[in-house]
């Protein structure tokens, strides 16, 4: 869900991975998670923070059952 450019998601959008139930909401560049975003995992835990080319980058927080577990740089 989002805007597409040359067949790849671009700007703000949502991606769902059916094989493991992850949902990413946030910024994309060239089809990759890039910029501010959040991933919700099937077990209910989530990651919120910065991404750079599909990798965690900079400050981020890990959440489990609505409680913050860790904040990292």
Predicted TM-score (pTM) of the model is 0.81
Collapsing DSSP to helix, strand or coil, 1 comes out as coil
CA distance between the termini of the chain: 29
Beta strands in 1-73 (DSSP E): 2-5, 8-16, 23-29, 32-40, 46-52, 55-64, 67-72
Q: What is the pLDDT of residue 30?
A: 93
- Kindly state the tokens that stand for 42: 């099937």
How far is Cα 1 from Cα 8, in angstroms, rounded to an integer? 11
pLDDT band at 67 (very low <50, low <70, confident <90, very high): low
Q: What is the mean pLDDT of the chain?
A: 88
More confident residue, 66 or 8: 8
Amino acid 62: pLDDT: 85
Q: Is the pLDDT of residue 68 over 70?
A: no
């Amino acid at each position: 869900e989002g805007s597409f450019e040359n067949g790849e998601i671009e700007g703000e959008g949502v991606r769902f991975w059916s094989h493991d139930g992850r949902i990413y909401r946030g910024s994309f560049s060239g089809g990759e998670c890039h910029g501010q975003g959040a991933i919700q995992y099937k077990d209910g835990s989530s990651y919120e923070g910065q991404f750079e080319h599909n990798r965690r980058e900079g400050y981020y927080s890990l959440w489990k059952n609505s409680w913050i577990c860790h904040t990292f740089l």
